[in-house]
Protein backbone atom coordinates (compact mmCIF):
# COMPACT_ATOMS: atom_id res chain seq x y z
CA UNK A 1 0.00 0.00 0.00
CA UNK A 2 1.17 3.50 -0.70
CA UNK A 3 1.48 6.17 1.98
CA UNK A 4 -1.56 8.02 0.65
CA UNK A 5 -3.66 4.85 0.72
CA UNK A 6 -2.62 4.18 4.30
CA UNK A 7 -3.38 7.77 5.33
CA UNK A 8 -6.78 7.56 3.67
CA UNK A 9 -7.53 4.29 5.45
CA UNK A 10 -6.51 5.65 8.85
CA UNK A 11 -8.60 8.80 8.40
CA UNK A 12 -11.79 6.81 8.07
CA UNK A 13 -13.90 7.08 11.19
CA UNK A 14 -14.84 3.41 11.18
CA UNK A 15 -11.25 2.23 11.56
CA UNK A 16 -10.72 3.89 14.93
CA UNK A 17 -14.21 2.99 16.13
CA UNK A 18 -13.47 -0.65 15.34
CA UNK A 19 -10.13 -0.48 17.19
CA UNK A 20 -11.87 1.07 20.20
CA UNK A 21 -14.52 -1.67 20.17
CA UNK A 22 -11.87 -4.39 19.95
CA UNK A 23 -10.13 -2.86 22.97
CA UNK A 24 -13.45 -2.83 24.83
CA UNK A 25 -13.96 -6.50 23.94
CA UNK A 26 -10.49 -7.47 25.13
CA UNK A 27 -10.84 -5.62 28.43
CA UNK A 28 -13.25 -8.07 30.16
CA UNK A 29 -11.27 -11.00 28.75
CA UNK A 30 -8.04 -9.56 30.17
CA UNK A 31 -9.72 -8.93 33.52
CA UNK A 32 -11.01 -12.50 33.60
CA UNK A 33 -7.56 -13.92 32.88
CA UNK A 34 -5.92 -11.83 35.60
CA UNK A 35 -8.63 -12.67 38.11
CA UNK A 36 -8.45 -16.39 37.35
CA UNK A 37 -4.66 -16.47 37.79
CA UNK A 38 -5.09 -15.85 41.50
CA UNK A 39 -4.43 -18.77 43.81
CA UNK A 40 -7.73 -18.62 45.69
CA UNK A 41 -10.01 -19.00 42.66
CA UNK A 42 -12.95 -21.39 42.75
CA UNK A 43 -15.01 -22.70 39.85
CA UNK A 44 -17.76 -20.17 40.58
CA UNK A 45 -15.29 -17.33 39.86
CA UNK A 46 -14.55 -18.84 36.47
CA UNK A 47 -18.26 -19.16 35.70
CA UNK A 48 -18.96 -15.56 36.71
CA UNK A 49 -16.19 -14.27 34.44
CA UNK A 50 -17.59 -16.26 31.50
CA UNK A 51 -21.02 -14.75 32.18
CA UNK A 52 -19.55 -11.23 32.29
CA UNK A 53 -17.86 -11.76 28.93
CA UNK A 54 -21.01 -13.24 27.39
CA UNK A 55 -23.09 -10.33 28.71
CA UNK A 56 -20.63 -7.85 27.24
CA UNK A 57 -20.85 -9.54 23.82
CA UNK A 58 -24.63 -9.42 23.99
CA UNK A 59 -24.61 -5.69 24.79
CA UNK A 60 -22.38 -4.68 21.85
CA UNK A 61 -24.49 -2.43 19.59
CA UNK A 62 -25.62 -4.45 16.59
CA UNK A 63 -26.12 -1.48 14.29
CA UNK A 64 -22.56 -0.17 14.34
CA UNK A 65 -20.58 -3.31 15.14
CA UNK A 66 -22.61 -6.16 13.63
CA UNK A 67 -19.63 -7.91 12.03
CA UNK A 68 -17.38 -7.62 15.09
CA UNK A 69 -20.19 -8.72 17.39
CA UNK A 70 -21.06 -11.75 15.27
CA UNK A 71 -17.42 -12.83 15.02
CA UNK A 72 -16.93 -12.48 18.77
CA UNK A 73 -20.04 -14.53 19.50
CA UNK A 74 -18.94 -17.17 16.98
CA UNK A 75 -15.49 -17.45 18.62
CA UNK A 76 -16.99 -17.48 22.12
CA UNK A 77 -19.49 -20.21 21.18
CA UNK A 78 -16.85 -22.31 19.46
CA UNK A 79 -14.58 -22.13 22.49
CA UNK A 80 -17.25 -22.95 25.06
CA UNK A 81 -19.56 -25.37 23.28
CA UNK A 82 -19.76 -28.80 24.80
Residue ranges of the domains in the chain?
A: 14-80
Q: Are 67 and 17 in contact (CB under 8 A)?
A: no
CB atoms within 10 A of CB 35: 14
Helix extents (H) in the chain: 3-11, 13-36, 43-59, 62-80
Q: What is the pTM of this model?
A: 0.56
Q: At what angle do helices 13-36 and 3-11 cross, to 10 degrees?
A: 70
Q: Are 32 and 79 in contact (CB under 8 A)?
A: no
Task: Read off the pLDDT of residues 4-34 as tens digits, 9 standing for 90 and up.
Answer: 777 776 677 677 777 887 888 788 788 888 8
Task: Read off the pLDDT of residues 27-47 as tens digits, 9 standing for 90 and up.
Answer: 878 888 888 787 788 888 878
Dist CA 19 CA 35 (whole Å):
24
Amino acid sequence: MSNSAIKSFLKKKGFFDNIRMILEILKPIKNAIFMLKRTNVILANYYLQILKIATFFKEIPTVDYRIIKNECIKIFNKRYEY
